[in-house]
A and B are shown apart, each in its own frame.
Chain A
């Protein structure tokens, strides 16, 4: 039995097979419409996340399975003080697979250690968000044709943004990738990431201004400045509008550059960019469902 805690839990070859499956689901959805008949997914969300939860629910429903779960800690037994270890033992009796989001880092790993069913980390605090990373990788592979041979700019909150950290960790396994980190000084990428890049001889640079690097980017990954990651309101207000992507900045970019965003956005991408063919973030959300469908099938070892 396998779990998914980090994007690195799967080898590059295993990810290729997962993405092939996701692309097949995209092309032939009817073929998979009853693949999970009689199976149950438990969505254990200890903090609100409508988007990720609905993506999982959509994925399981499109596979013919059913979904049970809770969408915040207040409506779960955690509010009575139940441990994650105990909760997952109970959930293992009710469901065949579990997607868990928790504000505490490492909580899904604790669940996986005690679980009788596959556990998917659906986000643990500021730590990992592997299914978002799988979504990002599938989007890049599907729209760019391959995972490698490009310069990717990551912009915004690179300090607290777990999607960014997960994506970097996953991309370093592919060839010929150059990173450009675009952030204010206060939200720079953590030192353990830059240490890892240095140790692996992977080129990266850290810059302050987005427009200076736009012409060189093949991909631009935008992130929002998340209010819940800040300890005080003043810092949040000062930094949230720091980097906004608009048509003027897009005019500097390559014709085939793609803009990705884990969503939801606040105002870091102007609405005027939505109609630009290079804006890939809504297509990215659709790939999120396909990759979660492929993941559920893979972890449940269901062949179609």
Chain B
């Protein structure tokens, strides 16, 4: 079994669906941070059978929890200080996301208006449905993993 050492200061994203850690890495723009990142794929898990884990040594404020919650609000966010877990953050679906997903409705103004951000608003938290702010095109939050 592969061992990855614990981090002193930062956060651990646990219970990522197996194989999805690189997508999370990209969405959180971790490539732009000058810090240590460990990507663990297909770790054994009692709860999920297999899971991915991301360990990042940086300030928790540098993490966009809204984006993370939109991607998968079942991910566990452990905040680490002095090598210990000091907080487990509960993720909730953000009310609005900006430039995370694109509106694919060809009739939407976002398809032609230059530099207009793609903004989606949470329409129904129960079914995790988001709608484009401009044209109300539907986007199922859960669809991104299928």
Q: Please indicate whether A and B come from the same complex rather than being unrelated chains.
A: yes
Known: A106-B133, A109-B134, A127-B136. A84 touches B107 (CB 8 A): no
Contact A84 B113 (CB under 8 A): yes
Known: A125-B107, A126-B107. A105 touches B113 (CB 8 A): no
Contact A104 B138 (CB under 8 A): no
Cβ-based interface call for B112 (8 A): yes
CB A9 to nearest CB in B, in angstroms, measures 14
- A126 and B134 alpha carbons, distance in the complex (Å): 12
**Hey, which chain B residues are within 8 Å of A28, CB to CB?**
none
Contact A83 B114 (CB under 8 A): yes
Which residues of B from 111 to 146 have beta carbons under 8 Å from A? 111-114, 116, 124, 132-136, 138
Binary B-proximity of A226-269 (CB < 8 A = 1, otherwise 0) = 00000000000000000000000000000000000000000000
**Chain B interface size range:** 10 to 19
Instruction: Tell me which of A110, A192, A199 contacts B109 (CB under 8 A).
Output: A110
Contact B113 A85 (CB under 8 A): yes
Interface centre among A104, A106, A124, A125 (most CB of B within 10 A): A106
The secondary-structure label for the interface of chain B is loop
Contact B113 A110 (CB under 8 A): yes
Contact B138 A105 (CB under 8 A): no
- A83 and B132 alpha carbons, distance in the complex (Å): 19
Contact A105 B108 (CB under 8 A): yes
Number of interface residues of A (CB under 8 A): 17
Contact B114 A106 (CB under 8 A): no
Contact A105 B105 (CB under 8 A): yes
Residue ID in chain B nearest A108 by CB atoms: B109
- A283 and B132 alpha carbons, distance in the complex (Å): 36
Residue ID in chain B nearest A85 by CB atoms: B113
Contact B138 A106 (CB under 8 A): no
Q: A104-B113, A110-B134, A127-B135 are in contact. List 18 more A-B contacts (CB 8 A).
A: A84-B113, A102-B109, A104-B108, A104-B112, A105-B107, A105-B108, A105-B109, A105-B136, A107-B109, A109-B134, A110-B116, A124-B109, A125-B107, A125-B135, A126-B107, A127-B107, A127-B136, A192-B138
- Chain A residues close to B by CB (< 8 Å): 83-85, 102-107, 109-110, 124-127, 192, 199
